[in-house]
Amino acid sequence: MCYEAIINYISRLKMKYYIIAGEPSGDLHGSNLIKYLKTLDSGAQIRGWGGEKMQSQGAVIAKHYKDLAFMGFLEVLKNLKTILKNIKFCKSDISAFQPDVIVLIDYPGFNIRISEWAAKNNFKVVYYISPQVWAWKENRVKTLKKTVQKMITILPFEKDFYKEKWNWNVHYAGHPLMEIIDDFKSSHKHLIKNENQIAILPGSRKQEIIAKLPIMLEASKSFPDHKFIVAKAPGLPEEFYNDFLKDYENISTVSDKTYELLMTSAAAVVTSGTATLETALFNVPEVICYKGNSVSYAIAKRLVKIKFIGLVNLIMDKEVVKELIQNDLTVKNLTAELNKILFNKSRKEQIKRDYEKLREALSQKESASKIAAEIVFIEAFQN
């Protein structure tokens, strides 16, 4: 390679990346993606939508994910004006930034719209963490194939889904949580399990917390010898939680310490989502809870084509941990399931065995974030 070519090569490494993460989990995965991107492209300019974790890795945050937290069909309809305003702003911000590549992290309702617009405006798109199109709205794959240059999946069955049903060769990186949690465990070996401690992970959005936290708290009354600790969501004010907790003496809270909480808890009550997988990877027996707006749930039940809602159960294709959904999420049912995972030895041992198989299914030789960063970097460099 001649001198001029080397200089040109180095100058090209100062590329622009626009990353869109609409939830706390996306912010986490986006931050680790950025960390590895910077090992490949030390001069990378990174802008996007996310939170404190992406910002801590050097990204300029144009919009915080807490301003995007709308869930359920009715909630989306009620906030449609705000959502459309956000989409308009996002397009304008991307146009002004002129990135070499746009990286979309999950958050499909918003990000698929951006991918369509990006394709029409000649921006390259890498979708990191595939939308769960295998669960519902499978026809979205048609749009994704037309508008996304590279699709990166993190669940083992997704690659076969895209290939066998849609003749699309996508990339399987493995799950980024594996490395994140293993690193955390290694650096926090001093933390000791408390057999009388139960974690409550009620979610990150106001709507889901309001629907489920009162039931979770009421169930705690049946376990007076146990300490319950609620993991608070970033961005929500202290007084929001105080309204729920004022009548409970055996309940405390933590902020930004969910992993510490899981590492020291004997059991967990968890809102459906990424937290269900995190809990399993910390080897904590759990009960998965979901309760939403009744109309939104009725619509979703007609559209969603999956047997389970918890990632643990979806990956293993069986009910590893109990799911209490909508009308099944009652104080009585939750109390009964907590009794099983706290005091039934055979039940606890079966969960632990299934967790080991889950880890095997997700294991990869290399870091998922590193693999994803390499794909993003190459796509940007090929501009």
User: pLDDT tens digits, residue range 272-326?
Assistant: 888 999 999 999 999 999 887 655 555 455 555 667 888 999 999 999 999 999 8
Q: Which residue has the tokens 């009910």?
A: 319
Ranking 19-28, 227-236, 301-310, 315-324 by mean pLDDT, the lowest is 301-310
State what percent of residues in the chain have pLDDT above 90.
70
Q: Are 282 and 163 within one domain?
A: no
pLDDT over 60 at 358, yes or no: yes
Q: What is the spatial order of strands in the sheet that 227-232 belongs to?
A: 251-255, 227-232, 194-201, 265-271, 286-290, 323-325
Do 188 and 131 share a domain, yes or no? no
Place of tokens 């084509």: 305
Instruction: Say yes or no: 357 and 281 in one domain.
Output: yes
30 or 296, which is more confident? 30
- Do both 231 and 353 map to the same domain? yes
- Per-residue confidence (pLDDT) for residue 219, from 0 to 100: 96
Residues 193-208: what's their mean pLDDT?
91
Q: Give how many domains the chain has, as a whole number.
A: 2
For residue range 105-150, what is the model confidence (pLDDT) as tens digits? 999 989 999 999 999 999 999 999 999 888 878 899 999 999 999 9
Both 191 and 324 in one domain: the answer is yes
pLDDT at 75 over 50: yes
Burial group, residue 10, by CB count within 10 angstroms (0-12, 13-18, 19+):
exposed
Res 248: pLDDT: 87
CB neighbours of 211 closer than 8 A, spacing ≥ 6?
291, 292, 293
Same domain, 264 and 355: yes
Q: Of residues 136 and 191, which shows the higher confidence score?
A: 191
Instruction: Please tell me the distance from the alpha carbon of residue 178 to that of residue 330, in angstroms, as a whole number.
Output: 32
Do 376 and 295 sit in the same domain of this protein? no
pLDDT of residue 78: 59
Let me know whether 15 and 154 are in one domain. Answer: yes
> Regarding predicted confidence, which is higher, 206 or 196?
196
- Is the pLDDT assigned to residue 32 strictly greater than 90? yes
Q: What is the CATH number of the domain that holds 192?
A: 3.40.50.2000
Domain identity same for 139 and 215: no
Q: What percent of the chain has pLDDT over 70?
A: 89
Question: Could you list the residue range(s) of the whole structural domain that residue 232 is in?
Answer: 180-362
Which 3 state secondary structure label does DSSP give 302? Answer: helix
Q: Return d(Cα 291, Cα 122) in angstroms, integer.
A: 41
**At 11, is the pLDDT very low, low, confident or very high (cuts 50, 70, 90)?**
very low
Across the chain, mean pLDDT equals 89
pLDDT exceeds 90 at position 332: yes
Return d(Cα 337, Cα 267) in angstroms, integer.
11
Give the pLDDT confidence score for residue 7 in this predicted structure: 42
Are 158 and 58 contained in the same domain? yes
Q: Is 317 exposed, middle or buried (0-12, 13-18, 19+ CB in 10 A)?
A: exposed
**Is 9:381 a contact under the CB 8 Å cutoff?**
no
| Res 308: pLDDT | 86
Residue 198 has a pLDDT of: 97
- Residues 143 and 77 reside in one and the same domain: yes
Phi, psi of 321 (to 5 degrees): -125, 150
Overall average pLDDT of the 42-58 stretch: 95
1 band by pLDDT with thresholds 50, 70 and 90: very low
| Mean pLDDT confidence for 30-58 | 95
Residues 17 and 165 placed together within one structural domain of the fold: yes
- pLDDT of 195 above 90: yes
